[in-house]
A and B are shown apart, each in its own frame.
Chain A
Amino acid sequence: MAQDTLEASANTADLTAGKSKVELRNVSKSYGDEWEQQQVIDNLSVEIRPGELTVVVGPSGCGKSTLVNLIAGFEFPDTGEILLDDKPVTGPARDRMVVFQETALMPWQTTYQNIIFGPKLRGDLKGNALREEADRLLVKVGLSEFKHKYPLQLSGGMQRRAELARALINNPRIMIMDEPFRGLDAMSRGLMQEFFLRLFEENRRTNLFVTSEIDEAIFLADRIIVLSNRPANVRKVIEVNLPRPRDYKMLNSPEAYEIKREAMGILHEEAMKSFKSGSGSDFAEAYGKADS
């Protein structure tokens, strides 16, 4: 099943598709006027390994989204470099597909039109091949019946699945997910996590997953990168060696508990800093789920 997702476009993409690595070297980024610089990312170096699911956690407002924007190529670092398979990132492209917070499906296109948007624009999949590929992905994400509905007619979970399909059809080298399940209710969130894991475990496409929820991170990750409070830097890299395929019960294992304890400790420390620096809402968000 490994090459299953996107056989049809395999002829246009290289064989290493989905097995790419991203390297950030000494990346810094700041915003604001000269006299009021807000440093968001400070000298951050990190590697996203090929075929791994790397989860980034950090207190909210610590610069996770900025990190995503930099890797996606929407923004550029002030200093340092971002390398995709040793080539510098120069802008947004189909090899780094982003799944956004909330949803970024075009509300004026049906589910189907959204899914075929990328290949149709680029012209690398046409006619029947494109239709079949889209239909196959629609089945995969369970949205065949909702093919001709508009995104606003879908539930939150369906929207996220449609967005996954829209990204997958492009056979990206790396998937970047920026808190993709934020805003879903607990039930759909759990279901989406399981669905997403199945999808990932199928062909292990390099994935960067950003979240502020530690349980989600442990459940999904091969490696967890814990970021510090703003300006963001790597506080700790935790390897998660829970067996795959994963299931929810593993979250109750001693190993998972140990990881959670360690990560929570660091996040608590970092969130306290931001709490003291005046943004109390961060505290609530990072700790809302702490005891669950």
Chain B
Amino acid sequence: MSQTAAATAVPRRTKAPTGMSLFFYRLGKSLQTPTPYLTLFGVALWLFTWWLLCEGLRVDRFDKIPGPVAVSKDLFSPTPFQGISIYTQEYYDHILVSCRRILIAFSIATGVGVPLGLFMGWSRRIRDYAFPILETLRPIPILAWVPLSILMFPGFEAPVIFLATLASLFVTTLNTMLGVDSIDEAYFRAAGCLGSSNWDIFKNVVVPGALPFIFTGLQISIGVAWFSLVAAEMVSGDLGLGYLIVDSYMNNVTVPMVIGMITLGFVGWVTSMLVRMLGNWLMQWHVKALALQGR
């Protein structure tokens, strides 16, 4: 298909499409780039390797791991051999419980971490109070907090949420603070010149200026929340994807274990994409600037 042929066949758009037609326009455009095909090929290659190791060649020790055929047979069967499929309620219960915990933990961590980071970046005094403590607590691995959290909180739910919150709180706070540090001094000066009070500067310079860093931080933090949540669910829990994985292993049913892992990866990817979309929506100026650079 030559360029001239394409130009004569499709009339030039003069108005920006909206809604669904915009979606299809973008979809059509993206199908003309190599991206979707390379993605598909990458996934296929990965699945093939997995199949080759576990089912094709049955490499030693890998033969105990269920391959893609065994997993998908169970996953899409109304009567799964090992108990978990997209037709069983239990599967969705695990996802739902984990998602709910992530939602709570991520909300608390963002609600506390972003303001804390903003104030730490903005005020020397608040940083002097909080930064040494934050930096001391931050390197402690989340698993080291497990016994303490079980002692501190009753039941299954609270300790698990506490651990996920803690992990993502550190990331969010630190990134937000660095975001404030990254703002050019000239913006503070310009705002001062124009007659801003301290609070005006906070609202109009500190918050929007730190936003790109905040959202980078939030994307990392939701990932961190997922893996600390799963670690926590493995140690203490009654439901959830982490629990599903470790419980399946204990009961020697390997297919649900792999299903749990794949689901976890997929759900984690979706949540981090949601955070990114929210960020882009909030930072039109940033997105447009990046678009000008061809990104």
Contact = CB atoms under 8 A, between A and B. Distances in A.
Interface of A: 72, 74, 91-94, 96-98, 100-102, 104-110, 117-118, 121-122, 150, 152-153, 166, 170
The 5 A-B residue pairs with the shortest CB-CB distance, nearest first, are A118-B194, A152-B289, A108-B208, A104-B186, A92-B192
B96 interface: no
B144 interface: no
Interface stretch (B24-32, B116-124, B132-140, B280-288): B280-288
A104 B192 CA distance: 12
A111 B186 CA distance: 17
Nearest to B208: A108
Contacts of A91: 192
Given A100-B186, A107-B285, A121-B200, A92 B205 contact: no
Given A104-B184, A121-B200, A150-B284, A170 B289 contact: no
B182 interface: no
B187 interface: yes
B193 A72 contact: yes
A94 B292 contact: no
B189 interface: yes
B196 interface: yes
Interface centre among A98, A101, A104, A153 (most CB of B within 10 A): A104
Contacts of B99: none
Interface in B186-232: 186-187, 189-197, 200, 204-205, 208-209, 211
Contact of B189 (A74, A93, A118): A74
B273 to A, nearest CB: 23
12 contacts: A92-B193, A93-B195, A94-B194, A100-B190, A104-B189, A106-B209, A108-B208, A108-B283, A108-B285, A109-B208, A121-B200, A150-B289
Nearest to B211: A108
Contacts of A153: 288-289, 292
A74 B193 CA distance: 9
Given A104-B187, A108-B211, A118 B195 contact: yes
A166 B187 CA distance: 13
Given A109-B208, A153-B292, 15 more contacts: A92-B192, A100-B186, A102-B186, A104-B187, A106-B204, A108-B208, A108-B209, A117-B191, A117-B194, A118-B195, A121-B194, A121-B200, A152-B285, A170-B194, A170-B195
A150 B288 contact: yes
Nearest to B291: A153
A167 B195 CA distance: 11
Contacts of B204: 106, 109, 117, 121
A92 B208 contact: no
A105 B204 CA distance: 12
Given A152-B292, A153-B292, A104 B190 contact: yes
B189 A100 contact: yes
Contact of A122 (B192, B195, B284): B195
Contacts of A107: 285-286, 289
A98 B200 CA distance: 18
A124 to B, nearest CB: 9
A98 B196 contact: no
Contacts of B191: 106, 117
A121 B196 contact: yes
Contacts of B288: 150, 152-153
B284 A92 contact: no
A108 B193 CA distance: 18
B117 to A, nearest CB: 18
B193 A93 contact: yes
A100 B187 CA distance: 10
Contacts of B208: 106, 108-109
Contact of B190 (A93, A98, A150, A152): A98
A92 B196 CA distance: 9
Interface string B101-118: 000000000000000000
